Amino acid sequence: MITDRLRSMLRRPGAPPSPGLPVAPANHARAKASSVFDKEIVTSRPSRGLEQFFAYVRGQEGLTILDLAGASQDNINFITNLGHRLYSEDFLRTLDDSFRKDEDQDDAGKIDQFLRQNLSFREEQFDGVLVWDVLQYLSPALLTATLDRLRAIVRPQSYLLAYFHSNEKSRQVPYYSFRIKDQKSLLLAQRGLRTPVQIFNNRSLEKLFQKFESVKFFLTKEQLREVIVRR
């Protein structure tokens, strides 16, 4: 077990997971949501990451924020009431629609098509991106391309808020719809379970965001790592 833990700590974010690691689905299809929940389970929790993200954009009006969780009434109300313009993308829904076969997420043509469909914005268009937990469901190739694209469409000095599950023993993790309750707390609507393609620790997250200026982590009780990334 200690060996596994060590191996996981040393694993490069882009590298395929080593055999024997707890979260290592060979099959991307297994990363898709399971529909075990007929009803949403909604819980409220404080979010230091969210608080930090909005601390940076507070006091300014007319910013342009991209939300990758799809449209929700709470997020629309919160962000537009701050005087910002909101762009909405249902990233995971399109991910599931776009990549149906196991190997698709490694296909350069399909990755390019997916990004043109989802992140087709002009360079430095956004003042912040609410990425939520979508990055952990991407294959290494798709993840790298997505981060490059995100880096291109946000302005320098602006921020990304991303979440990563930190429990390396879990094969499946709760799959949430993230709704902003207020500046410091979230409503997490659990919609089922998904299997992350990759699990990240602090070191691999630093490496993942190495092209960005800074990375700041918060580890919560729910084994959710909140990450604030500065472009």
Q: Which residues bind another protein (CB under 8 A)?
A: 40, 45-49, 64, 70-74, 76, 78, 80-83, 85-90, 93, 181-185, 202, 206, 210, 212-221, 226
Give min distance, CB of 74 to another protein, in A.
Answer: 7
Give min distance, CB of 77 to another protein, in A.
Answer: 9
Q: Which of 3, 81 has the CB closer to another protein?
A: 81
Q: Which of 18, 80 has the CB closer to another protein?
A: 80
Structure-block tokens of residue 22: 């707890």
Give min distance, CB of 54 to another protein, in A.
Answer: 8
Q: Which of 9, 71 has the CB closer to another protein?
A: 71
Q: Which of 76, 115 has the CB closer to another protein?
A: 76
Cα 204 versus chain centre, distance: 15
Give buried/exposed letters for 47-69 (b at 16+ CB in 10 A, else e): bebbbbbbebbeeeeebbbbbbb
Residues contacting 126, CB < 8 A, separation 6+: 64, 65, 66, 87, 153, 154, 155, 158
Evaluate the CA torsion angle 188, 220, 133, 84 in order and state its sign. positive
Give min distance, CB of 224 to another protein, in A.
Answer: 9
